[in-house]
């Protein structure tokens, strides 16, 4: 099929496992795989894949390395240390199938280039069923020559493969796809809620809309299959992951000097769902909270500044938000460090600690100071159990320039 006879694959999650299985079955190449979970490794071994003990071992046995990981942080984890950058060599190609930060994508591409390797961004779109059926859509950032060489391999798991431009263009396209999707799902949630309150059957509403100009993929899938029946499973595309992807769009807007208000509002709606305990649920769960489900009660704890630090305890989860206590300095590093100390205090009062943090959202007043925030975060975070984290540029109330929201297990 392709000029490549040895492939590698890292990241065998909900999407990665079926994508890799299609490569094993259709590519005609030897596929060496690695994941931290033993179960998908065992299943893919039964399908004919070779099993490696580490990322480094996979790189040592492949010409093209596919990675399919849930966030930019996970990609960074396999890039650094005894991972991609250390072990990649001349002529090898890394294909990132996840949705990731454009700035990180371009940075990694420039760094592997110094080793004679190439980084291709090829984020995937569509559903888990599409991954199983081999009917995904893939948006590629690469040269035309490399795109032509890789397209037969990508065609093993995708029916629509689009060259979007050079390095990073695939990520830009996918990020904007998701931005539009999230806003569309919010509009559908509002329409269904209004229909219910006005005695119109939601299923009838969406069926009727599907016959007119309001029809969309989101309506027929997220609307009819999730919002109307109230089906918001775990291990689907979660609210936390949606918020993470939306943060990349807001980062792009900040870098471009644009304010995208619809996306900002959708980010707030997603955050409300996370705060209400639905961070791990399929992201159309925002409809559930819009339609009047009882919100978690906010408890204020002694020792926390009333309007600056607060905590929510709900269904075994602790959700807390903090900024630096007054008086504050204009230093992003110092404000972040003090806000994180407030997070520690809040978690302790709620009977947990940072080792049990599941996810974090950091809001900063301008992305130009993100590096200083990252420095304070990296000094503070539990390195043995780092949580998924998104960073979003927003306008905060002066003099505060950083606000941190975390979700932790009780």
- Whether the CB-CB separation of 22 and 49 falls below 8 Å is answered with no
Q: Catalytic one among 174, 244, 338, 354?
A: 174
What is the count of structural domains for the chain? 3
**Shared domain check, 310 and 278:** no
Would residue 345 count as lying in a domain?
A: yes
Tell me which DSSP letter residue 280 carries: T
Nearest to 389 by CA among 35, 172, 10, 77: 77
Domain residue limits at 74: 6-166
**Shared domain check, 180 and 142:** no
Among residues 256, 290, 324, the one where a domain terminates is: 290
Minimum mean pLDDT range among 166-175, 226-235, 281-290, 396-405: 396-405
**Shared domain check, 234 and 309:** no
- Using CA atoms of 81, 85, 86, 88 in order, give the dihedral in degrees to the nearest 10: 140
Would residue 153 count as lying in a domain?
A: yes
CA distance 121 to 142: 7
Using the structure block, give the residue that is written with the tokens 């960073």.
391
**Shared domain check, 158 and 86:** yes
**Shared domain check, 137 and 85:** yes
pLDDT greater than 60 at residue 306: no
Decide if 370 is catalytic. Answer: no
**Shared domain check, 160 and 207:** no
pLDDT greater than 50 at residue 130: yes
**Shared domain check, 13 and 158:** yes
Using the structure block, give the residue that is written with the tokens 């294909």.
95
**Shared domain check, 37 and 72:** yes
CA distance 123 to 161: 10
pTM for this model (two decimals): 0.72
pLDDT of residue 309: 53
Would residue 330 count as lying in a domain?
A: yes
Q: What share of the chain has pLDDT > 70, as a percent?
A: 95
User: What integer is the mean pLDDT of 41-68?
Assistant: 97
CA distance 49 to 60: 15
CATH of the domain at 389: 3.30.1330.40
User: What integer is the mean pLDDT of 81-100?
Assistant: 96
**Shared domain check, 347 and 261:** no
CA atoms within 13 A on the CB side of 225: 10
Would residue 374 count as lying in a domain?
A: yes
CA distance 350 to 342: 12
Bridge partners, residue 160, by sequence: 137
**Shared domain check, 391 and 250:** no
**Shared domain check, 97 and 40:** yes
pLDDT of residue 300: 35
pLDDT greater than 70 at residue 345: yes
pLDDT greater than 70 at residue 191: yes
**Shared domain check, 159 and 103:** yes
Would residue 1 count as lying in a domain?
A: no
């Amino acid at each position: 099929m392709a000029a490549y006879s040895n492939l590698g694959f890292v990241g065998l999650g909900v999407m990665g496992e079926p994508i890799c299985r299609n490569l094993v079955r259709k590519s005609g190449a030897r596929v060496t795989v690695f994941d931290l979970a033993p179960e998908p490794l065992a299943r893919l071994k039964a399908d004919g894949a070779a099993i490696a003990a580490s990322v480094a071992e996979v790189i040592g046995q492949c010409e093209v390395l596919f990675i399919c990981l849930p966030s930019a942080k996970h990609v960074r984890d396999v890039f650094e240390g005894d991972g991609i950058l250390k072990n990649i060599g001349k002529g090898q190609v890394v294909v990132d199938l996840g949705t990731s930060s454009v700035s990180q994508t371009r940075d990694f591409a420039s760094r592997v280039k110094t080793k004679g390797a190439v980084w291709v961004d090829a984020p995937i779109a569509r559903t888990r069923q599409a991954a199983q059926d081999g009917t995904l859509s893939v948006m590629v950032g690469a040269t035309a020559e490399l795109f032509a060489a890789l397209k037969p391999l990508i065609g093993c798991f995708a029916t629509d493969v689009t060259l979007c431009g050079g390095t990073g263009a695939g990520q830009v396209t996918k990020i904007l796809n998701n931005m539009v999707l999230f806003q569309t799902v919010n509009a559908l949630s509002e329409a269904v809620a209004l229909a219910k309150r006005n005695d119109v059957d939601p299923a009838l509403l969406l069926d009727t809309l599907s016959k007119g100009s309001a029809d969309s993929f989101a309506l027929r899938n997220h609307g009819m299959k999730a919002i109307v029946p109230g089906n918001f499973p775990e291990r689907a595309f979660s609210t936390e992951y949606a918020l993470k992807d939306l943060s990349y769009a807001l980062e792009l807007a900040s870098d471009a000097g644009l304010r995208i208000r619809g996306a900002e509002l959708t980010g707030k709606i997603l955050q409300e769902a996370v705060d209400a305990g639905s961070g791990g649920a399929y992201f159309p769960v925002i409809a559930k909270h819009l339609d009047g489900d009882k919100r978690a009660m906010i408890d204020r704890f002694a020792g926390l500044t009333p309007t600056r630090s607060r905590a929510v305890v709900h269904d075994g989860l602790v959700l807390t938000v903090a900024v630096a206590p007054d008086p504050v300095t204009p230093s992003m590093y110092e404000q972040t460090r003090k806000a994180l100390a407030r997070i520690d205090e809040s978690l302790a009062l709620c009977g947990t600690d940072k080792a049990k943090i599941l996810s974090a959202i950091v809001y900063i007043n301008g992305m130009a100071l993100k590096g200083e925030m990252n420095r304070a975060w990296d000094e503070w975070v539990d390195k043995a159990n780092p949580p998924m984290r998104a960073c979003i540029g927003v306008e905060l109330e002066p003099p505060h320039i950083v606000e941190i929201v975390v979700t932790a297990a009780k």
